[in-house]
Amino acid sequence: MSDDLVTQLLPTLARSLEVEFNVFDVMHHGIHEKQISNAFRWLLEADGSHGLGEAFVGIFIAEVNRNLVGVEPLEPSGYWVRQEVNIAEESGGVDIADLVLESKSATLVIENYVTSDGHGHGYDEYLQYSRRHGRVGAVVMLCHGVDRSRLSNNWENAAVVTYRSVLERLREFVDVDRTYRLRFPEPYSFIDQMHRKFVKGSGRMEDRKLLDFVVAMCDTGEAARYAKNNIDQVAEQFASDLQEQARERFGEGRELLQRVKDRLKAFSREVLRRQLDAATSRNLVRRVAANYIGKWRWEVILDLEATDGTADNIQLIFGPSAWHTQLESAPDRIADPDYSRMFIWRHSTKEFRQSAVTLQEVLDGIDREDNRLRDEILELLGQRPLIP
């Protein structure tokens, strides 16, 4: 495994470590087309327990009308729904349509599949069934993603409706109606989770993130894993290898932080303290200290001599402790903080500033003639050095 795989892959794995509850994930639903059809049938039932009435039917029909070509618009209401309908039964054959939406004047035969592919079903037979009894007929391809190259054998004439297009509008509908969530909390929760499962996190932005991941695998020489067929085993081995490297890199990172702290503490005691005392012509720094536990571990503290009876200190903060300060303590956050640099915090005023000094400079050893930290601290204290 490449030595730099963890650092190259980490940005592409930028997802919350807290797994958000979703009933579809718990039940492993949403993988097979019938499971998704079950959910859409429920939404399309005007008297369903969702309490939406014909609201979703109206959303669905509007999207179908938007994608129909050469067919008069369908009525927005008055439909009933059936599932797993054999549309070839009259001819003695078998061709099961996932959903059929019917009214007194129109029939929609719906094929639900993860992508826009007829996958062996007969478009012409679907269309013929939809127009029986002189009704207005339409064939609908309901899918998660659209791939026009797979719309063949007349399926290119179907009205293509994506999960995103209808679920986005449904989510907007239930959010606008502020009473719906109170009246139907459980259906609302289901709709919210369905939206998160099939809409949120999908689309072009998610594709770009996944492409970044694949590119990182290629750049680090790990692309050969994609050539193997036993996917589950390969994925488990990859996760194990990545875990081991991440564990090692985390430990090495902590050791580096400790080296930064040790060198910063030594510089503060031997050089910075004297620079500040000389620049103010008094013993400004009473002592140099450091925390050893918790989230404020990565800092060095300069306790200042009180001139007006008020205790004060300056904290030189870096890495994880700077991140915590920015997130939890600083009243005015720094826009786009650079955590490769030092940060300075004044206790009494709660002022938090980014230093020009980098962690790499601390590791390399800050020159004794370097006054940047001195000047930044004096500026935070509202003082100017008496000497250059």
User: Does position 30 have pLDDT exceeding 70, yes or no?
Assistant: no
Distance CA 202, CA 308 (A): 59
Confidence band (pLDDT; 50, 70, 90) for 49? very high
Q: Do residues 156 and 148 lie in contact, with contact meaning Cβ atoms separated by under 8 Å? A: yes
Average pLDDT, whole number, for the chain? 88
Please write the tens of the pLDDT for every residue from 250-269.
888 999 999 999 999 999 99
Residues whose CB falls within 8 Å of the CB of residue 245, separated by 6 or more in sequence, listed in order: 1, 3, 5, 6
Mean pLDDT within 270-290: 92
Helix (H, G, I), strand (E, B) or coil at 344: strand
Q: How far apart are CA 278 and CA 284, in angstroms?
A: 9
| 386, pLDDT greater than 80 | no
Q: Which of 339, 341, 330, 344 is nearest to 302 (CA)?
A: 344
Nearest residue to 86 (alpha-carbon basis) of 78, 77, 94: 94
3-state DSSP percent of the chain in helix, strand and coil, to 5:
50, 20, 35
| Per-residue model confidence (pLDDT) at position 33 | 79
Predicted local distance difference test score (pLDDT) of residue 388:
56
Break the chain into its structural domains and give their ranges: 10-206, 257-380
CA atoms of 342 and 357, how far apart (whole Å) = 6
- Calculate what percentage of the chain has a pLDDT beyond 90: 59
Q: Summarize pLDDT for 139-185 with one digit per residue, the tens.
A: 999 998 888 888 999 999 999 999 999 999 999 999 998 899 999 99
For residue 4, pLDDT beyond 80: no
- Looking up tokens 């400079």 gives 361
CA 232 to chain centre: 24
Q: What angle do CA 17, 18, 22 make, to 5 degrees?
A: 125
More confident: 330 or 385: 330
Residue 353 in this model has a pLDDT that exceeds 80: yes
311 vs 31, residue with greater confidence:
311
* 240 C-beta neighbours (distance < 10 Å), count: 10
Residue 263 tokens, joined = 């060198």
pLDDT at 2: 58
Least confidently predicted of 181-190, 325-334, 335-344: 325-334
Phi, psi of 381 (to 5 degrees): -85, -5
pLDDT band at 197 (very low <50, low <70, confident <90, very high): confident
* Cα 243 from chain centroid (whole Å): 21
Instruction: Tally helices (H) and strands (E) across the chain.
Output: 14, 10
Q: Is 275 exposed, middle or buried (0-12, 13-18, 19+ CB in 10 A)?
A: buried
CA distance 83 to 107: 13
pLDDT band at residue 70 under the 50/70/90 scheme: confident
Look at residue 3 in the predicted model and tell me its pLDDT.
58
Residue 281, pLDDT > 80, answer yes
Q: Would you say residue 15 has pLDDT above 80?
A: no
The residues near 50 (Cβ < 8 Å, ≥ 6 apart) are 42, 43, 56, 184, 187, 190, 191
The pLDDT of residue 205:
46
Q: Round to the nearest angstrom and report the end-to-end CA distance of the chain.
A: 52
